[in-house]
Structure 1
Amino acid sequence: MTVEFGLDTILHQRIIDKCMSLYKDGHFPSAAFESMKQVELALKEKSGTDEKLFGTRLVDTLLGSGKNIKLTIPLGDELQEQARSLFKGAFSYYRNYTAHDGSKIDEVICIRIMVLASELLDLIAASPISFTEIGGVKGLIERGIFDKESQISDLLSFLSSQVCPGCFDGLFEDLCERGYTDHQYQSVFDLGLIEYKQEIRDYSFPDKPADLDTFGWFELTPMGHMVLNKN
């Protein structure tokens, strides 16, 4: 049986936006290198670091201690260390080669690297667009998404104060009353300034039927904290 997947269905949006044109034009080494650069950039964005670190040194600094970036592991959170090893191996094997040579990167190898980079971006829970690329806070204003910086910090402050079991009934009505649009709400997530977290909590008493409920909250990323503290 033949299984077919279109690249657009399995690649991360950042890889599609940044690498597919290079790939389609036959620039396979460049597309592969750009894929790994996007992973590198996403790691820095997620941690909020501006250190001049690259490759495996960046992985050791941001993932090694377990205190900076916690990866999103669909196969089980207990595999954090194995996922970190995946990053380190990918950077050591692919990133370094594409940065310094890349001459042996053909179409097939390029596709494999783009797919792997997409997997790594998903593990980082990387935003589809780079905060740096859009121009940071000033870019959000220049594009007309927000009118002024204080709007962004006020929205982040409001969202990060919201905690609720189950779902956030009335949240969007509250946002509308505060003058925020759905597009503004979505933009702070797309740019990796804030994330939605949830966990299952057990409120049952001993020898009683299980009383499980979903508890959700919004959490600022390091980049979001930087924006909020700046304003």
Structure 2
Amino acid sequence: MRQIDAGGLSFRENRRRNKYYVDKTLLIKDILESDDSGVFLFTRPRRFGKTTNLTMMDAFFNIDYKGNDWFDGLAISRYPEYDGYKNAFPVINLNMKDTKSPDYGNFMSALGGAIVDALKKHPYLIDSPILMTVMHSLTRRYDMKTECESGNGRTDIIMRPRDGGTVPMIFELKRSASEEDLEADADGAISQIHERKYYMGMKGRVVLFGISFWVKVPKVKVEIVEI
């Protein structure tokens, strides 16, 4: 007997298991036809299908799922003009559901982990300005620069607050030669920030991120210092 999902399955798992699905795939058409800014906010109460719809869009656009048949027979399949968008793009998923924290320091540590989790499937972003774009999407309260002079050297990413309500953040990125080097390289990134005093001229609390990557495996270290 065909069943109804009551456990919050993703769209692809729902289709793979042949469960009942209320077809909302024309949301893809609505988004592609929109002339807005390209930023979409979907607000619904809990259990109203936000995750299902987001994973549905991920399944449609994400190049990792190329060749799937999950949309066969659904409403979007009646519009072949959108076939060129199907599984044609890398999709970055920044999930902040586990960043709830008792204080600011713990939140920044959790946020760093969420960013790394989002980027670990896309190691090519280490050398790409797209990384700064992802960071910029989190907040507009910072002036962000990459490969900029600071202290006694050049840091990979530095985020300076535009007002007094936020703290500066410094990111140093390393590409590791092996998985065994990840820990040491992340520690080395933090050490480099201190040795070259990238935070020179800053005052108060500064959050430091040392991030190392090997293939698709990341390691992140976070340190909060008072200057």
Q: Normalising by structure 1, what TM-score?
A: 0.30
- Comparing both structures, which one devotes a greater share of its residues to helix? 1
* Higher RCO (CA < 8 A, seq sep 6+): 1
Q: Normalising by structure 2, what TM-score?
A: 0.30
